[in-house]
Structure 1
Amino acid sequence: MGKVLKPGVTIKGTKEGLLFFLDDSRPFTAIMNELKYKLEHNNAAHIWDGPEMKVQIKLGKRQITKQEELELRNLFAIRKNLQIQGFESEAGSYLLEPEHGIQMLVGTVRSGQVLQHVGDLLFAGDVNPGGIIQSTGSIFVLGALRGLAHAGVKGDHTAIIAASILRPTQLRIAEIISRPPDHWEEKEVEMQFAYVHGEQISVEKMHLLSQIRPEKEWKEPYHRGI
């Protein structure tokens, strides 16, 4: 006989309302699928259709991102009488804060692969046609960008996309989409960057970045020794 898996979502009633315990050993997507099924189909004692009930979500040792919190809140909106009061994590803050600064990754994004990142990303490698690179911040590719790049995926219009060889199939910054010209200047070897200008995406040479995005310019002298 196969091993019976315990539920990833456990619900307990209290005087204050309902407690939802989410198993921190399961992938977040699996928890969301199980929770969605229970909210849509489990109507035992008609608790989903009763009076307004306060909900507290227990995450165990798990921390979640703001996007995951939004997904949970949207899911609970299926049942109008369930009102989320808060989230609790044994790790302290229930929110997983993204790392500050820029993070470097090395490799190749091949056709069919998707690289997702939180924050600014410095990617040393190539993004091949059919590959996708996404980030909530800016994207800097030290290599050839020949696939799809999407920066500022949560709505950051100040994000940029830069590459040593900028030949993308498509560029996206926030919700703005730009398709490149049919023929890129193959003789152009200088690093370029894309940015939002008005309601469209424009491309310029890298040395113009400080003029177009002066807030990103390094203005203080560097004194620290090595």
Structure 2
Amino acid sequence: MKKRQNVTIKGTKAGIVLHLDDSCSYEELKKELDEKLSANQRTQAERQLTTVKVEIGNRYINDEQREELKDLIRQKKNLAVDDIVSNVVTREEAERLKAENEVVTIARIVRSGQVLEVPGDLLLIGDVNPGGTVIAGGNIYILGSLKGIAHAGAFGNEQAVIAASSMKPSQLRISEHLNRSPDSIQDNEKREMECAYIDENHQIIVDRLQVLIQLRPNLTRLEGGH
């Protein structure tokens, strides 16, 4: 009877992908991984550093085991661990993901010197005064006047948007992109609700709110956006 393969090595253009079985014991897995990497090393000619992606399926490993696997792979010549990918999400990760996908609704005025920060989307019913700052991991929606600083997509989400009933910010920021309020718009100019987003040229654009229907079709989670 053919022995079950707990470790499968696959070469790609980017490097090596290691598929590790998630049903065997961790010790069995470690032993076979060491043997196969040693055998694979003997068959390979001397070459430049190769990146390794490790896929562990539905297996949970703690930080100590994660470092142990990395060290085992690094001991082999010319191998560098790029990432270890698991389908299992820890409670802490699940809570973080949940928080980042929640809409937090707050009714207040953010005054000068104050900072309001949420991990997910922010729905602010009130104004952001000059000198006030709002920061969100996701989108920012302001039912009021934005005259201070707004930073959406704070964790690197470039698809995040900022919307306000009155868009007169001192500074707009989406992910790592920064922009001040457009000079072409005068304070006494009457405007409808507007939004800010990053365009294909990686510039922050301020436009009518209606453009988001085409630009961000997956923005809503209710009707029309599942």
Query: TM-score, with normalisation over the residues of structure 2?
Result: 0.54
Retained in 1: the 8 A contact 2:104–2:118? no
**Who is 1:203 aligned against?**
206
Instruction: Name the SS for the 1:108 alignment partner.
Output: coil
Structure-2 separation of matches of 1:113 and 1:170: 15
Q: Residue 183 of structure 1: CA displacement? A: 5.3
Question: Using the alignment, how far apart are the partners of 2:190 and 2:63 within structure 1?
Answer: 58
User: Which residue in 1 is equivalent to 2:91?
Assistant: 93
% of aligned pairs identical? Answer: 41
For 1:136 and 1:102, how far apart are their aligned partners in 2? 10
What runs of 5+ residues in structure 2 fail to find an aligned partner? 1-61, 65-89
Q: Which residue of 2 aligns with 1:3?
A: none
Number of aligned residues:
133
Matched letter for residue 172 of structure 2: L
184, 188, 191: which is aligned to 2:190?
A: 188
Distance 1:115 1:93, change over 3 A: same
The superposition leaves residues 178-198 of structure 1 with CA deviations (integer Å, 9 ceiling, x where unpaired) of 112335343233100000012
SS of 1:112 mapped into structure 2: coil
Instruction: Give the Cα–Cα distance (whole angstroms) in 2 for the partners of residues 172 and 218 of structure 1.
Output: 24
Larger radius of gyration: 2
Corresponding letter in the other structure for 2:167: L
Structure 1 contact 210–217 (Cα < 8 Å) conserved: no
- The amino acid of 1:204's aligned partner reads D
Distance 2:151 2:63 in 1: 36
The separation in 1 between residues aligned to 2:114 and 2:220, in whole angstroms, is 33
| Shift, 1:107, TM fit | 0.2
Instruction: Compute the TM-score of the two structures, normalised by the length of structure 1.
Output: 0.54
Over the residues paired in the alignment, what is the CA RMSD in angstroms? 2.3
Alignment of 1:158 onto 2:156 = no
- Whole-angstrom CA distance in 1 between matches of 2:177 and 2:148: 17
Tell me the CA shift for residue 55 of structure 1.
Answer: 8.0
Offset of 1:103 from its aligned partner? 1.9
Please list, as runs of the form range in 1=range in 2, the aligned pairs for 1:19-168 lying within 5 A after superposition.
93-95=91-93, 96-97=95-96, 98-99=98-99, 100-168=101-169
- Corresponding residue for 2:54? none
